[in-house]
Amino acid sequence: MQPFADNRRRLLERLPPGSAALVFSGREQFRNRDVDYPFRAHSDFWYLTGFAEPEALLVLIHHADGERHQHVFVCPRDPKAEIWTGRRLGVEAAPEVLGVDGADAIDDRDEKLGELLRGIESLWVSFSDAGEWFPQLSPLIGRLKRHVRDGVSAPVAVRDLDAVLHEMRLIKQPWELAHMRKAARISVLGHQAAMRRALTAAAEREVETALWCAMAEAGAERPAFNPIVASGANACVLHYTENGAPIDSAGLLLVDAGAEKHFYAGDITTTFPARGRFSPPQRELYEVVLAAQRAAIKTVAPGVGWNVPHETAVRVLTEGLVALGLLQGEVDSLIEQKAYERFYMHKTGHWLGLDVHDVGAYRVEGQWRALEPGMVMTVEPGLYVAPDDDSVPACWRGIGIRIEDDVLVTEAGHEVLTAGLPRTPEEIEAFMHG
Ligand SMILES: [Mn+2]
């Protein structure tokens, strides 16, 4: 549990004296009658505890006199309930196992927080979860205010923990990168299995199942997000997750999926012909996206602005669309008019980490942020020609392509964590038939 203890210590160092940070693991979410969604602890909470149970609260206190106190609230042991819902760590074992100073039952939270937070000036909670926190904070602050007459000062500020904690999470430590390399490797194996399975699959679901089966066998804990397995024109629906259609055997298959390992996400998109042979239009459009992706990845290096890979991809895509006759005009002015947005309507990537769309600001003081070693991002350009777009020749319609890899910013430039997939049309055809 040492890395998590280090994270708590590093966070406490960044909070000014008189601060308390509250981080909640989350609660079970009802799906339908007696069924919950699979629970997955909040990434902030995991980052600071390595503890995955629901209904747990971490309180990190940096007192005005410099003293530190780390406290957790957890579900108490309950042998009868545990028979039904699984083992719990419990209050007694929590301090030693989690390496904190004290623990209490989550049901006693309100009362105990009133004691723990006496004299605290600033409460720090995630403003991303403001809807969760603010209703809880007002009775808490009210309780603390009642002690003011006893000479205890109550909080005077509620501050955004994201600004501190998410900046920490943005720069990955070596042990985190080891986890991310595993998540990436497992995701690669999943995609390879999906490509092989596609050849004879009748339905998207079969490919999805093969993908997940390979990832689980390789040690994935769960998918990092709902996978997209989109056959033919379904690929033009950017967040298609139904995965319930038959395979269009003349079409491409777009698979956007990743494994979660030690809570860290992989995120890969592959696009390949369902039956292992590109048609000429599919190949031509694919080559444009691949060239855009490779050019964008090439730009990734410390000091480079966040938007540079995107702008690079946009230029290569626009040039390609002009060369193929899908756009007419001069490249610079087409970029300026954002003419490409008809075929490329999303950004070229996002941060990656404990969350697939990981935390951390993309702009700092009004400027696109400069990349730094230890940041991990995806690079994922695409082109999507709507099936009903009768302004383009019929041969292009219903083709959706995205190519996505996970890229670590290193001192020397970058490292593609998800290397090992067949990417050129020749490699893909050879792999699928090999
Ligand atoms: Mn992605």
Taking residues 28-55, report their average pLDDT: 95
* pLDDT above 80: residue 374: yes
* pLDDT above 80: residue 148: no
Alpha-carbon span 37 to 222, nearest angstrom? 13
* pLDDT above 80: residue 149: no
Q: Which pLDDT belongs to residue 85?
A: 82
Question: What residues have CB less than 8 Å from 146, skipping those under 6 apart?
Answer: none
Taking residues 235-247, report their average pLDDT: 94
- pTM equals 0.96
Q: Which CATH class is domain 2-169?
A: alpha beta
* pLDDT above 90: residue 364: yes
Residues of the chain with CATH 3.40.350.10: 2-169
What residue ranges in 345-411 does DSSP mark as E strands?
363-364, 367-368, 376-379, 382-384, 400-402, 405-410
Report residue 314's pLDDT band, with 50, 70 and 90 as the boundaries: very high
Query: H helices within 299-424, ranges in order?
Result: 308-323, 331-336
Q: In a 3-state reduction of DSSP, which class is residue 105?
A: strand
* pLDDT above 90: residue 1: no
Report residue 315's pLDDT band, with 50, 70 and 90 as the boundaries: very high
Block residue for tokens 């549990």: 1
Q: Which pLDDT belongs to residue 109?
A: 93
CATH number of 171-433: 3.90.230.10
- 332: annotated active-site residue: no
Residues of the chain with CATH 3.90.230.10: 171-433
> Which residue of the set 27, 31, 87, 357 is catalytic?
357
Beta strands 259-261 and 222-223, pairing class: antiparallel
Alpha-carbon span 58 to 8, nearest angstrom? 10
Report residue 152's pLDDT band, with 50, 70 and 90 as the boundaries: confident
> Which residue of the set 34, 65, 365, 411 is catalytic?
34
- 358: annotated active-site residue: no
Task: Give the tens place of pLDDT for each residue, 250-262.
Answer: 999 999 999 999 9
- 222: annotated active-site residue: no
Alpha-carbon span 54 to 44, nearest angstrom? 13
CA of 379 to the centre of ligand 1 (A): 8
Beta strands 400-402 and 382-384, pairing class: antiparallel
Alpha-carbon span 54 to 67, nearest angstrom? 29
Alpha-carbon span 37 to 377, nearest angstrom? 28
Structure tokens that stand for 99 in this block: 């390496």
What percent of the chain is modeled with pLDDT above 70? 100
* pLDDT above 80: residue 150: no
